[in-house]
């Protein structure tokens, strides 16, 4: 028996924690298109002003809240009918810690949402979340899921694979590297990914709010294409026309790079990220996903050529010789 879901529309007030990030801006836009009032709770509201034009006059509000300390969370959820937690970190640089943000922080946010009486809630997690994992990122994601469900048993958990799109930090990062470097690194080249477009993940959030059967369920979200890390690098080479040499890094060298990344901010990978790269990042067979939410995700061929066009050497975006 499912709880009655409040409809998304002008009577809805949706609180979005972490709404100024890559995924958040697309969720905020979709909510605004539905006519919802959207309250975006972030640590630095002054830096999130770019979200306000995504909606009508006074439709999108910005408030200060910190999921790590809990400061501002109760006020952020006050009066909200729906809640979403998008806050997550990829590494522990800058004083942020996986446990504080993705485990305890997720639970603190859910408790605040429960106290405010939200009727629908979505927690964004990640494929690979595992309470028994030795990898802090994966373990904290699973602990966060458990804490959310303890406070809000009707919450929906969404676990996307690699999320890609115009502002992503994966395809764009390696395509930018291909512009200036003669080689591209391949790390754990056989590990498989199931890239998913950011708009499809945003659509899954909306579907979770409108699907009674989604209450209390966990969905794993992967696109229709499954590619190895090496195949992704080959795709970037092909779509940018750069034809860079692919250099496979040994596990020992990659592990050393990760250790350096733990202490040096300019090294692009940490030990935790190296450990995650060694595991497949694809949906678990039999786990509910896009199909159960009524969504057909976009194949890579539908958007990657346009996404990487600005990195090509033979387009109007190319630097003059």
Q: List pLDDT tens digits, range 54-79.
A: 999 999 999 999 999 999 999 999 99
pLDDT at 91: 81
Q: Which residue has the higher pLDDT, 106 or 271?
A: 106
pLDDT at 276: 87
pLDDT at 321: 45
Mean per-residue pLDDT, 85-93:
87
Contact 234, 226 (CB under 8 A): no
- Does 109 have pLDDT greater than 90? yes
pLDDT band at 2 (very low <50, low <70, confident <90, very high): low
Mean per-residue pLDDT, 240-264:
90
Which of 25-29, 185-189, 249-253, 312-316 is predicted with the least confidence, judged by mean pLDDT?
312-316
pLDDT at 245: 94
Write the CB contacts of 9 (distance below 8 Å, at least 6 apart in sequence): 34, 35, 36
SS3 of 72-135: the string is CHHHHHCCCCEEEECCCCCCCHHHCCHHHHHHHHHHHHHHHHHHHCCCEEEEECCCCCCCCCCC
Mean per-residue pLDDT, 236-262:
91
Q: List pLDDT tens digits, range 114-142.
A: 999 999 999 999 999 999 999 999 999 99
Write the CB contacts of 76 (distance below 8 Å, at least 6 apart in sequence): 15, 17, 39, 41, 63, 65, 112
Cα–Cα distance measured from residue 128 to residue 135, given in angstroms and rounded to the nearest whole number: 10
Q: List pLDDT tens digits, range 275-321.
A: 888 899 999 999 999 999 999 999 999 999 999 999 997 755 555 44
Domain boundaries along the sequence of the chain: 13-154
User: Under CATH, which architecture does the 13-154 domain have?
Assistant: 3-Layer(aba) Sandwich (3.40)
Supply the mean pLDDT for the chain: 93
183 backbone dihedrals φ, ψ, rounded to 5°: -135, 155
Which value, in Å, is the radius of gyration of the alpha carbons in the chain? 20
Read off the tokens for 319: 């630097």
pLDDT at 1: 40
Mean per-residue pLDDT, 234-238:
95
The model's pTM is 0.93
Cα–Cα distance measured from residue 256 to residue 252, given in angstroms and rounded to the nearest whole number: 6
């Amino acid at each position: 028996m499912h709880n009655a879901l409040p409809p998304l529309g002008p009577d809805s007030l949706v609180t979005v924690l972490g709404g100024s990030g890559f995924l958040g801006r697309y969720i905020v836009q979709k909510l605004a298109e539905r006519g919802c009032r959207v309250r975006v709770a972030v640590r630095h509201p002054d830096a999130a002003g770019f979200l306000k034009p995504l909606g009508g006059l006074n439709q999108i509000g910005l408030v200060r809240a910190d999921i790590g300390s809990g400061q501002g969370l109760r006020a952020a959820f006050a009066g909200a009918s729906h809640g979403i937690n998008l806050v997550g970190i990829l590494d522990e640089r800058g004083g942020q810690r996986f446990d504080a943000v993705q485990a305890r922080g997720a639970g603190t946010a859910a408790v605040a949402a429960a106290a405010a009486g939200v009727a629908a809630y979505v927690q964004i997690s990640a494929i690979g979340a595992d309470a028994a994992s030795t990898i802090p990122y994966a373990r904290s994601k699973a602990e966060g899921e458990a804490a959310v469900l303890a406070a809000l048993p009707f919450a929906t958990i969404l676990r996307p694979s690699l999320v890609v799109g115009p502002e992503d930090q994966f395809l764009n990062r390696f395509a930018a590297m291909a512009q200036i470097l003669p080689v591209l690194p391949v790390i754990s080249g056989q590990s498989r990914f199931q890239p998913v477009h950011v708009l499809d993940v945003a659509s899954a959030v909306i579907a979770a709010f409108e699907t009674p059967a989604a209450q209390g369920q966990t969905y794993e979200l992967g696109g229709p294409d499954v590619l190895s890390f090496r195949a992704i690098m080959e795709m970037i080479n092909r779509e940018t026309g750069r034809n860079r040499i692919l250099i496979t890094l040994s596990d020992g060298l990659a592990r050393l790079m990760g250790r350096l990344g733990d202490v040096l901010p300019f090294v692009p990978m940490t030990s935790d990220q190296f450990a995650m790269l060694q595991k497949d990042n694809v949906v678990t067979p039999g786990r509910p996903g896009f199909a159960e939410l009524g969504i057909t995700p976009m194949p890579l061929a539908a958007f990657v050529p346009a996404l990487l066009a600005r990195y090509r050497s033979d387009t109007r975006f190319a630097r003059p010789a």
